[in-house]
Chains A and B, each alone.
Chain A
């Protein structure tokens, strides 16, 4: 599975300057709102924040994966943001978050396996401290995409 096929350079922000968790999610939803996959950005934002209210997607080690199945999304897509400063995501380890993947998937009776596979792959990649460091130090969007696709 080539991860870069589920995003676009336009949906990657390596210098996000936003104040809090809701603001950064809203900014990322806005990025995906330009995509053909997200038809109604406001509805998608509500779904993502609703999922976030259930249990935080700040899994620890400075990474979060806000996500939602949404009727506003037509196919699986993700955005990535790296924040200049750490954001309080209510993460499981209490640490601030700097690496954020926002994932959207169509709402269906049976959740898309692509969606679940994508989250599994991204979460696996981000468990590795070396991969996180490479994303934190990446100088370009191309470098980020190459990293996501090259890591086995």
Chain B
């Protein structure tokens, strides 16, 4: 588990969140309230969901996208970032675990549910850390996890 986690409040906008993800080279952030109560999670996927047309999820083969993409790229490339807050884009009630949860169960949750991180909360629902895929693979491989910058 990584403690001292990078978090955002529900009013952080997508530009601010994207900058944090890039700065800290992380895949997502928990969204917390002023008491550090877990509200949700925003990952790169939630940011991409703004831009990727919803109907493309219906197709496995995106070979046609080079043609279609011209129109969509023009219309979706420039949004108003202040309009999209963590509140708007986050996954609410995300999968979370307790500090005592076994690493095997965490690994199973990450892979089965295709998650990139799992918040760790205490009995009161307050955030105490996150576990990401790197933490788990390092734990299995015997290497120490990397602390965020």
Which A residues form the contact surface with B (CB < 8 A)?
1, 51, 54-55, 57, 59-60, 65, 67, 69, 92, 108-114, 116-117, 119-121, 123-127, 152
Contact = CB atoms under 8 A, between A and B. Distances in A.
Interface in B60-109: 71, 74-80, 82-85, 87-94
Contact of A124 (B13, B57, B75, B90): B75
The 3 closest A-B pairs by CB, nearest first: A113-B54, A123-B80, A59-B80
A147 to B, nearest CB: 14
A120 B74 CA distance: 12
A21 B53 CA distance: 31
Contact of B82 (A1, A55, A113, A121): A55
B83 A117 contact: no
Contacts of B55: 1
Interface residues of B, number: 32
A124 B88 contact: no
B137 interface: no
8 contacts: A109-B94, A111-B89, A113-B49, A113-B57, A116-B88, A117-B53, A119-B79, A152-B74
Interface string B17-42: 00000000000000000000000000
A120 B85 contact: no
A67 B88 contact: yes
Contacts of A117: 50-54, 76
B11 interface: yes
Nearest to A50: B87
Nearest to A56: B82
A59 B87 contact: no
A12 to B, nearest CB: 20
A149 B39 CA distance: 36
Contacts of A113: 49, 52, 54, 57
Given A69-B88, A109-B92, A120 B82 contact: no
Contact of A116 (B11, B50, B78): B50
B113 to A, nearest CB: 12
Contacts of A60: 80
B89 A65 contact: no
Contact of B75 (A54, A59, A152): A152
A68 B12 CA distance: 16
Given A109-B93, A116-B49, A123 B57 contact: no
B33 to A, nearest CB: 12
A121 B54 CA distance: 12
A124 B53 contact: no
Contact of A111 (B49, B57, B93, B94): B49
A85 B18 CA distance: 37
B133 interface: no
